[in-house]
Structure formats: structure tokens, C-alpha cells
């Protein structure tokens, strides 16, 4: 029984061992032996590593990892690990990639690996004068930033550009300094945050103002991953299918309500690879959605057009702050294995493949939506989940899933009845 009278004020919880924490929470929440054992099973992440990764660690939540096949990116066949709980995501990429494979697959590029950190300056009566004073110090700023990260400098990265903007806010004008730093194979948040914190007191001193926030921007528009692909009309079911897909895109381009779902589908693919490689899904997601709104109205991250030959041409451009080192990429054994499967040599190569996956995912979604509807494919995959939820095991899962699909009713109540019939027969 859950002890409803417990207090969430647990002093020194973080100082307890993992086992002590599990025992305490299990008692408070009334977990049974199976549930306790589940909390203590940290799967493919060593308990010791997990305990150092986050505060108050208990265990792990295991998410399925699948491989997207059929992907050809810049002439190279790539196996793409994807971590996702959603049934149709991996299948959608395999499907879209298969339809583009014979025509050469995806072509990708990258605008660079530069990240932005922002420094907020307030309490300046002459913000435009202050802006000039900061811009004049570009070489001093370079030295201050680069001194923070000798390793990054040795590898060829470091401070690249300076931008200073005056913005109007509810508290009056603010002077916002952007330091633009090439973080190479690191996502770079820690690297640029350190630089921003080091630089802020100098900015305050040079301008007579006061600095507050010093942190990277997730609108990583100096780190854009680009992918494009042409699907031949005959490979995708003909001109009608192509035209239906274009209408789906035009809908998303014009309407934020549709664009939100269109881009959610793109992020189904992108976030799954970002997660599988131990990168920061929230950083990439906030960057993508902010970029989709950059012209003042939220819109599609992809574009779809018809080539001179009548084929369907898709393209995507999206901020992609992912790394091969730093964060969990080098800590989580599964992330390291995923990177080995991908066989990428740089963060830029990883980012480009992820963009291609996003485009493939979008192709599959708008094709399904414009033709059979999303539920057909989705439900036939989801039927396995429903079968398991109803209690099916072993060969029963496939058998029950097929019955649900054949009946066109992928519902838990039907699954329970049908399972009883299977077992009775």
C-alpha cells in the first residue's frame, strides 16, 4: 500500500547509497518485491555510472533501440540506431529510405559547428554606446574566451565571432552579447557557458552596466544540418501520391496547428537518434522549434517541391547541436555502441545523418497521411503493444495482433476478449 502520509522533505537523500534510496522510496510508495527489483535493475547502464550522471539516481527506464535500415547518406550506406517508445518510428524511416535508395539516397551538408553563448547586460543608460564599447573589444574577448579551453583551441576550435544586439524588453533596453564559438566535436554547452561566465565581469566593467544571465542559446543557427533527397515519382506510387504529399506540405507550411504535428513527426526521427547517441534531446528539440519560427510564424522544417522531371524533392534545414564527446555520449555504453554502429568520424557527420533521418521520417508521415491515412500502418504496429497489454505472451502476441488488425479494432477491450477466445480454443 502506498503510504499517503509520507513527506517529500527527505533530508540528505542524495547522500544515501542507491540501495538505501530504493529501499526508502519502495517503503514510502508501497512497492512490492517485483517493483523494488525493477527499480534496482539499471539495465545496460552501470549503477555506478548512473549514480554519477544524475542526482538522486534510483534506476533506469529502458527504451527500445532499433536500427533504421536502407539509409544511404552521401553515397555511404549507414545503419542508424534509434531509441524510441513509439511503434511506427523506425519502420517509417526504413520505408522512406527504401523508396529513395535506388535513386542515390540523401545528400547532406552542414553550416558549421559553432555555438552561441549569450551575456545579458542591463542598467546601461546608453545601450548603443555600450554596444560599440563591447564590439571594440573583440580581440580582448577572443583572448578571454580562448583561455578558458586550451583543449578546444589545441584541436582547432575556439572563439570565432562577436555580435552585440540591443533588444527592447519589459524592463527596458538590454544589451545582449553573443560569443560565437566553434566547439568542433562537442555539443559545446559547457564549453561556451564557461566562456560566457568568464567574460561577463569584463563586459560589466567596460560598460558600467550589470550582467545577469550567461548561457548558450539553443537556437543554434550557426550549426545547421541540411539534407535533401529526390524520390522518383514511379518509386512512390505515381503523380497522385506526389501531389497529395505536396498538399500535405503546403498545409503545414501555412498553418501552425498542422506544422506542429508535421514537425513532431520529423522530431520522432531526429530525437530517436539524438537519444540513442547520448545527446541532449531537449537542446535539439528547442533549437528545431525555435528555428521553425524564425520568420515570426511557426512553420514546416522541411520543404517539398517537384523537380523538372516530375519527381518529389524534399529538403530540411535544422539546428543540430550534437556531439561525439561530452555529455552522456562518452559515458553511456549504449551511446558509445550506437556511435560505433553509425561509424561517424565527426559531430558534423552525425548531425547530417540525423537531418536525413528527420527528412525520411517526414516523407513517410506525409505519404501515409496523403494516401492510406496514418492509422493503418500505425495501428498494425501498435496492435502488438495492445496485445501485450491484454496479457498475450510468446506466439499469442502475433496471433492476437493479427486478429485485431483484421477486425480493424485495435482496442484493449477487444484484445482481452479475443485473448480469452484464443486461450479457450
Q: Minimum Å distance from CB 37 to ligand NAD?
A: 30
Q: Minimum Å distance from CB 173 to ligand NAD?
A: 25
60 binds ligand NAD (CB under 6 A): no
Question: Among residues 70 and 277, whose Cβ is nearest to ligand NAD?
Answer: 277
Question: Among residues 61 and 151, whose Cβ is nearest to ligand NAD?
Answer: 151
In sequence order, what E strands does 297-380 have?
A: 302-306, 312-319
Cell digits of residue 224 = 545547421
358 vs 117, 346, 363, CA distance in Å? Answer: 26, 19, 9
Question: Among residues 33 and 55, whose Cβ is nearest to ligand NAD?
Answer: 55
277 binds ligand NAD (CB under 6 A): no
327 binds ligand NAD (CB under 6 A): yes
Place of cell 549504449: 334
Question: Among residues 59 and 188, whose Cβ is nearest to ligand NAD?
Answer: 188
Task: Identify the residue among 22, 94, 110, 187 touching ligand NAD (CB under 6 A).
Answer: 187
Q: Are 357 and 68 in contact (CB under 8 A)?
A: yes
325 binds ligand NAD (CB under 6 A): yes
281 binds ligand NAD (CB under 6 A): no
339 binds ligand NAD (CB under 6 A): no
Task: Identify the residue among 145, 149, 318, 332 touching ligand NAD (CB under 6 A).
Answer: 149
Q: What x-and-dash track marks residues 157-186 binding ligand NAD by CB under 6 A?
A: x-------------------------xxxx
Catalytic residues: 86, 264, 280, 378
Task: Identify the residue among 155, 241, 405, 414 touching ligand NAD (CB under 6 A).
Answer: 155
367: Cβ contacts below 8 Å, ≥ 6 apart? 96, 236, 237, 241, 245
Question: How many CB atoms are located within 10 Å of the residue 27 CB?
Answer: 12
Q: Are 383 and 405 in contact (CB under 8 A)?
A: yes
349 binds ligand NAD (CB under 6 A): no
30: Cβ contacts below 8 Å, ≥ 6 apart? 1, 2, 3
**DSSP track, 88-110:** THHHHHHHHHHHHHTTT-EEEEE
Task: Identify the residue among 1, 151, 170, 406 touching ligand NAD (CB under 6 A).
Answer: 151
Query: 3-state DSSP helix/strand/coil percent for the chain, to nearest 5?
Result: 50, 20, 30
Q: Minimum Å distance from CB 223 to ligand NAD?
A: 12
Q: Are 196 and 117 in contact (CB under 8 A)?
A: yes
3-state secondary structure of 358: helix
Binding residues vs ligand NAD (CB under 6 A): 149, 151-152, 155, 157, 183-191, 193, 216, 218, 280, 283, 323, 325-327
Amino acid at each position: 500500500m502506498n503510504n499517503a502520509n509520507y513527506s517529500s522533505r527527505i533530508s540528505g537523500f542524495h547522500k544515501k547509497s542507491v540501495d538505501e534510496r530504493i529501499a526508502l522510496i519502495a517503503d514510502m510508495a508501497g512497492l512490492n518485491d517485483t517493483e523494488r527489483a525493477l527499480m534496482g535493475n539499471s539495465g545496460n547502464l552501470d549503477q555506478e555510472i548512473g549514480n554519477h550522471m544524475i542526482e538522486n539516481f534510483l534506476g533506469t527506464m529502458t527504451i527500445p533501440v532499433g536500427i533504421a535500415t536502407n539509409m544511404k547518406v552521401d553515397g555511404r550506406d549507414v545503419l542508424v540506431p534509434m531509441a524510441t517508445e513509439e511503434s511506427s518510428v523506425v519502420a517509417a524511416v526504413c520505408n522512406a529510405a527504401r523508396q529513395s535508395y535506388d535513386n542515390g539516397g540523401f545528400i547532406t551538408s552542414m553550416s558549421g559547428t559553432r555555438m552561441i553563448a549569450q551575456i545579458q547586460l542591463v542598467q546601461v543608460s546608453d545601450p548603443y554606446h555600450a554596444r560599440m564599447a563591447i564590439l571594440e573589444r573583440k580581440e580582448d574577448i577572443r583572448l578571454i574566451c580562448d583561455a578558458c579551453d586550451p583543449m578546444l583551441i589545441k584541436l582547432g576550435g575556439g572563439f570565432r565571432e562577436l555580435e552585440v544586439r540591443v533588444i527592447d524588453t519589459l524592463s527596458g533596453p538590454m544589451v545582449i552579447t553573443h560569443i560565437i564559438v566553434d566547439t568542433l566535436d562537442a555539443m559545446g554547452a559547457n564549453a561556451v557557458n564557461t566562456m560566457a561566465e568568464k567574460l561577463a565581469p569584463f563586459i560589466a566593467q567596460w560598460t558600467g552596466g550589470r550582467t545577469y544571465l550567461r548561457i548558450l542559446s539553443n537556437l543554434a543557427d550557426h550549426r545547421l544540418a541540411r539534407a535533401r533527397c529526390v524520390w522518383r515519382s514511379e518509386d512512390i506510387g505515381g503523380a497522385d501520391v506526389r501531389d497529395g504529399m505536396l498538399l500535405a506540405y503546403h498545409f503545414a507550411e501555412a498553418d501552425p496547428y498542422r506544422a506542429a504535428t508535421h514537425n513532431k513527426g520529423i522530431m520522432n526521427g531526429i530525437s530517436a537518434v539524438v537519444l540513442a547517441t547520448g545527446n541532449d534531446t531537449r537542446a535539439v528539440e528547442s533549437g528545431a522549434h525555435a528555428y521553425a519560427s524564425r520568420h515570426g510564424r511557426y512553420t514546416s522544417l522541411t520543404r517539398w517541391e517537384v523537380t523538372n522531371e516530375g519527381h518529389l524533392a524534399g529538403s530540411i534545414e535544422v539546428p543540430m547541436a550534437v556531439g561525439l564527446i561530452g555529455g552522456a555520449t562518452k559515458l553511456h555504453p549504449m551511446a558509445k555502441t550506437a556511435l560505433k554502429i553509425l561509424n561517424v568520424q565527426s559531430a558534423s557527420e552525425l548531425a547530417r545523418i540525423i537531418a536525413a533521418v528527420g527528412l525520411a521520417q517526414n516523407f513517410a508521415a506525409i505519404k501515409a497521411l496523403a494516401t492510406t491515412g496514418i492509422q493503418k500502418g500505425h495501428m498494425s504496429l501498435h496492435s502488438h503493444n495492445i496485445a501485450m497489454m491484454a496479457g498475450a505472451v510468446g506466439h499469442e502476441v502475433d496471433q492476437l495482433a493479427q486478429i485485431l488488425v483484421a477486425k480493424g479494432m485495435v482496442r484493449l477491450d477487444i484484445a482481452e476478449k479475443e485473448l480469452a477466445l484464443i486461450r479457450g480454443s
